[in-house]
A and B are shown apart, each in its own frame.
Chain A
Amino acid sequence: MYGFEMMSYNIKDGFLEAIVRGHRSGLLTVADYNNLSQCETLDDIKMNLTSTDYGAYLANEASPIYTANIVEKCTLKLVNDWNYMRSQADETLAAFMDYCTYGHMIDNVVLIVTGTLHERDVQELLDKCHPLGMFDSIATLAVAQNMRELYRLVLVDTPLAPYFSENLTHEDLDEMNIEIMRNTLYKAYLDDFASFCQKLGGTTAEIMGDMLAFETDRRALNITLNSIGTELTREDRKKLYSNFGLLYPHGHNELAIAEDFDQIRSAMEKVPAYSGIFSKLGYGESQMLDKLLYEEEVKKCVDCFEQQFHYSVFYAYMKLREQEIRNIMWISECVAQDQKGRISDGIVYIF
């Protein structure tokens, strides 16, 4: 029930909410981004970042430094913060925080299975996995040969088990099947996460409902956009869309039959919340779409901190950090490629 959270939230979760708000105030500001944009080399970027929250992580990096190293160290900061909070979280918050990391777990599973398909060494692949999505038996994924084995022998003991449906195929894991598996798992995960949040009720349910709806619509849009020109059929595409969100169910029907960007655009513009985004894009242009979608997401995440005594701040913090890392990656790439004029094409300012 609304309003009564104030009375009981701080008993278990007050400390961690304070911690996450402290982290949030350490996110980079416009001034920081301006300083970074004026750097000439990656070493300058590293020097500028040492005066921010990332200082401790980047200070001891030896030159020459590369974009991938910078991104890795910044991700390490997010991972450490997250693990610190997770280890102190009490029951419900712990379950919520675990839900936030299942997306990374799915990505790790796909990374390992794809890498095994390409005859790569398992140790090498484990190094590339996202630390927030690790689980104990992840290395044994390398031995599975089809989806059934993948499920019954490895994933049945992981939190991803409920996301596999009963009608698993015999088919060997090839690139198309792996992609379909990834998106099917993600769909089931988002559906599950949304229903978990609804069960929590109160402010959490309201805010998370909104953010997850946006996430699922964004995924539907990206799946549609990326599947143009591939062998993914319309029926398969429709099966990958989630069962909630502003586009469900009519927008999904239209997206499923879209064959080019303009048809996608006309399908999305029927939803008032997204017509604003698409009106900023020129006709036929699709490069800026990613940035606009990320901007929308960041806006929702920042608004989420306006209310107190709910769990969405943790999810929002993770999303904002990831966006910040993406910004830093973009600036580093532009500086490294000597294309500083393109920096503004990719930065999404948080505050």
Chain B
Amino acid sequence: MAAPKVTSSATELDAAEREFVETMDALQEYLQLQARLQDQLKKGLMNLARAKYSMGPIGQAQYDMEMQASVRVAIKSGDENGGSSGGGGGAVEGANAPCSGTRYSFEIRKSPNAATARRPSPPPAAAAATMDRAKAAAEATPAAAAAVAEARGSKNVADEVAAADSVVRLSDLDLLDDDDGSGEDGGLSGEGGKEEEDEKELKVANEFLRRMRLLLGSDGGDGGGDGGSEGGDVAEVEWIRRVRRGGRNGGGGSDPLHWFGVLVPPALKDAQSGFSAALETCLLLANTAQRMGPLYHATSSAGAAEEGAAT
């Protein structure tokens, strides 16, 4: 059997060797990062167990149903043709590699901790995401400045909507507060006539009963009931929930650690920071895998081509 003929030139061989060395470096880094991730996860889970030991059982029952992501991943894709999204193409080393398929780079973006960004949740979140992508696009292609301006404009609109909503909610809250305020103060401070106190207490109690009925009704009333009144009831329940939410400090931007209480054991805080670090390690792993992936395919496809030439 004859040895395979060497058809590539010296420079091509050099380039292939360089790529091979880079792949090996990336592979080593990948394995180190994997070991680091394993370590971080182990520590995090152990801290979680320790926190359970100190404060009793903790679990998914304490999650906030209105939770929002505090960390997002921005994905920049790098086509060798500098494709439509175009973002971050220069950042990807594989732009001049003879590889197929797009390569991505992953970056962490921490969401701003602002109450205005919270409600109404879908539009600002969508606007933020599009802003990220638009920003990524604009980094590489200056001509897309218009797109960025548009995204910024849409974020302003979302802000205004959120501000308007919070104003509406504040006034609702005032209304309810007035009812409660006069009722409660009249009841406890002992001022005013006895009949006035009784009336106000009655009012408060009736308000409470109405709320209870609504909540119980909305929970059980999926199957039937009149359309009109049920629609009205559901709207009122929504109003109650909105009012209650409106009174919370700051809202959704708060630290998820506080779902478990404010005075949490130090082990739980350690677990939180451990898992955040693990998240960053995951991102690094993904980026390193990207560096490895296409080169791995290139070497394997080049090997197959040579074998094909030999036979």
Contacts and interface: CB of A to CB of B under 8 A. Distances in A.
25 contacts: A115-B61, A119-B65, A122-B219, A124-B61, A128-B59, A128-B61, A143-B211, A143-B215, A149-B208, A152-B184, A170-B177, A172-B248, A176-B249, A179-B261, A222-B263, A222-B265, A229-B269, A230-B262, A232-B262, A232-B263, A287-B50, A290-B265, A329-B52, A329-B53, A329-B57
A68 B241 contact: no
Contacts of B96: none
Nearest to A110: B261
A41 interface: no
Contacts of B219: 121-122
Interface in A295-351: 326, 329-330, 333-334, 337, 339, 342, 346
Given A149-B208, A179-B263, A229-B269, 18 more contacts: A114-B62, A115-B61, A118-B65, A118-B259, A119-B64, A120-B65, A122-B219, A124-B61, A145-B247, A153-B205, A175-B258, A175-B259, A225-B265, A226-B264, A226-B265, A286-B266, A337-B45, A339-B42
Contacts of B45: 337
B241 A119 contact: yes
B168 to A, nearest CB: 17
A223 B265 CA distance: 9
A172 B61 CA distance: 22
B53 A172 contact: no
Contacts of A257: none
Interface of B: 42, 45-46, 49-50, 52-54, 56-57, 59, 61-66, 176-177, 180-181, 184, 187-188, 204-205, 208, 211-212, 215, 219, 241, 243-244, 247-249, 254, 258-259, 261-267, 269
A226 B52 contact: no
Contacts of B62: 114-115, 118
Contacts of A227: 263
Looking at chain B's contact residues, the main secondary structure is: helix
A120 B259 CA distance: 12
Counting contact residues on chain A (CB < 8 A from B), the size range is: 35 or more
B55 to A, nearest CB: 9
Nearest to A322: B56
A172 B62 CA distance: 19
Contacts of A232: 262-263
A73 to B, nearest CB: 13
Interface in A124-162: 124-125, 128, 140, 142-143, 145-146, 148-149, 152-153
B49 A179 contact: no
4 A-B pairs with least C-beta separation: A172-B247, A333-B49, A226-B263, A179-B262
B43 to A, nearest CB: 10
A174 interface: yes
Contacts of A152: 184, 187, 204
B88 to A, nearest CB: 37
Interface string A75-118: 00000000000000000000000000000000100000011011
A183 interface: yes
Contacts of B269: 229
B224 to A, nearest CB: 20
A166 B215 CA distance: 29
Nearest to B63: A118
A277 interface: no
A107 B261 CA distance: 11
Contacts of A122: 219
A27 interface: no
Given A153-B205, A287-B50, A118 B64 contact: yes
A144 B131 CA distance: 40
Interface in A188-212: none
Contacts of B177: 170
A175 B212 contact: no
Nearest to A142: B215
A183 B57 contact: no
A176 B46 CA distance: 27
B96 to A, nearest CB: 45
Given A68-B59, A115-B61, A226-B263, A334 B49 contact: yes
B206 to A, nearest CB: 11
A226 B49 contact: no
Interface string A164-189: 00100010101110110011000000
B205 to A, nearest CB: 7
Contacts of B263: 179, 183, 222-223, 226-227, 230, 232
A39 interface: no
A63 B194 CA distance: 64
A121 to B, nearest CB: 8
Contacts of B42: 337, 339
B276 to A, nearest CB: 16
Contact of A174 (B59, B61, B248): B248
B208 A143 contact: yes
A258 interface: no
A226 B268 CA distance: 10
Nearest to A294: B53
A71 interface: yes
A220 B266 CA distance: 15
B53 A326 contact: yes
B115 to A, nearest CB: 13
B42 to A, nearest CB: 7
A146 B49 CA distance: 33
B266 A226 contact: yes
Contact of B184 (A148, A222, A226): A148
Contacts of A172: 244, 247-248
A178 B249 CA distance: 13
Contact of B181 (A145, A170, A290, A337): A170
